[in-house]
């Protein structure tokens, strides 16, 4: 079931992949994730297979990891799930597909669960619905600590570089 959901999520972006749970030669549990990304060069009639997540770009790795987490969600029975910055390193097109697949999956399979997604990104393609409640927080206000030093926000901090 995990494998089929993983493949389904990857296919939304035209990718393919496989998950293998097994045991290595030391008797320890082992997880193997392989992917073939849509835009990768075709050699000998097949797409290049990626066997190490570390060789992917940040957005590719982020989307593949999300596909794996959502595939596991079907078999992990928890009433509340929290995803923090799952869209990190994703471009707008990938983010749109990722959130579409995630909301479709959560609506279909996890409708009796509470899902909390935290992201600093704007998500103009998502709208409130009976199954989705979007809560936008105000940006943090600069604060002064007890010694009079002013705490800066990440935007202010990054302007200095």
Quickly count: other Cβ atoms within 10 Å of residue 51's Cβ: 9
Range of weakest confidence among 46-60, 69-83, 122-136: 46-60
Q: Which two tokens stand for residue 156?
A: 């202010």
User: Whole-model pTM?
Assistant: 0.61
Domain range 2-136, its CATH number among 3.40.50.80, 3.40.50.300, 3.30.70.3450, 3.30.565.10: 3.40.50.300
Tell me the per-residue pLDDT of 116-158, one tens digit each, with 9 for 90 and over.
888 888 777 777 777 778 787 777 666 777 777 776 666 666 6
- Give residue limits of the domains in the chain: 2-136
Using N-to-C axis directions, what is the helix angle for 2-11 and 92-109, rounded to 10°? Answer: 140
């Amino acid at each position: 079931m995990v494998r089929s959901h993983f493949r389904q999520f990857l296919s939304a972006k035209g990718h393919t992949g496989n998950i293998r749970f097994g045991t290595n030669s030391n008797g320890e549990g082992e997880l193997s994730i392989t992917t073939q990304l849509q835009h990768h060069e075709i050699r000998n009639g097949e797409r290049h297979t990626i066997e190490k997540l570390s060789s992917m770009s940040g957005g590719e790795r982020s989307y593949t990891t999300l596909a794996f987490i959502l595939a596991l969600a079907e078999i992990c029975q928890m009433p509340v799930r929290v995803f923090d910055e799952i869209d990190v390193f994703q471009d707008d097109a990938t983010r749109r597909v990722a959130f579409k697949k995630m909301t479709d999956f959560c609506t279909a399979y996890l409708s009796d669960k509470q899902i909390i997604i935290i992201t600093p990104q704007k998500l103009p393609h998502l709208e409130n619905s009976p199954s989705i409640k979007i809560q936008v927080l105000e940006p943090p206000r600069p604060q002064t600590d007890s010694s009079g030093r002013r705490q800066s926000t990440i935007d202010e901090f990054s302007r200095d570089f």
